[in-house]
Amino acid sequence: PACTRGMRNMLRMKGLRCTSNLTGMAITLEGGQRADAPAGIELRRLQDFSIFRDEPHPVLGGVRSGAAKRSLEEMVFLQEAFPEQVYHLGACSGRCVVGVATLFLGPESAGIYDVAVLPEWRRRGIGTAMTGELCHHARLKGYDRVVLVASKDGRFLYREFGFQEVC
């Protein structure tokens, strides 16, 4: 994919490289990116991660292994240590968290990470709604651009949403 020279140079200076499986994408926020959540889905900030003791986490799966438990502990730590910079979003159907996504507000840009929806809940607009909510939150916090790294599966969703490949 084509890169803008400035973005490519900035990524290389920071030691980042794009691969054929992962694509760097960005969007300029103009206020219209928010998408409605599907019926029966509530988007809310996740602050209590104890639900994942019994229910699968959309990124980690069942949190039973040591590695999955440490990853969940890291999420909790980041949220508690940096509440103004880290925003974990959940897409909830009742008490069940069916999708998650994270927004990190850095000094230079906002980044979206770990967008995932449980397999049986995919293709309903949940990922799009979470992406829109995080872009809206970034705009409210004064950011005019959001970046992310898209998997092959996520590229189409993000292109449809307005993200453009930067590398």
For the chain, the three-class secondary structure string (H helix, E strand, C coil) is CCCCHHHHHHHHHCCCCCCCCCEEEEEECCCCCCCCCCCCCEEEECCCCHHHHCCCECCCECCCCHHHHHHHHHHHHHHHHCCCCEEEEEEEECCEEEEEEEEEECCCCEEEEEEEECHHHCCCCHHHHHHHHHHHHHHHCCCCEEEEEECHHHHHHHHHHCCEECC
Each residue's pLDDT tens digit, 72-102: 888 888 989 999 999 999 999 998 999 999 9
pLDDT tens-digit readout, 143-152: 999 999 998 8
Q: In this predicted model, what pLDDT tens digit does every residue of 121-141 receive, in sequence order?
A: 999 999 999 999 999 999 999
Categorize the per-residue pLDDT at 2 as very low, low, confident or very high, splitting at 50, 70 and 90.
very low
Task: Indicate whether this model's pTM tops 0.85.
Answer: no
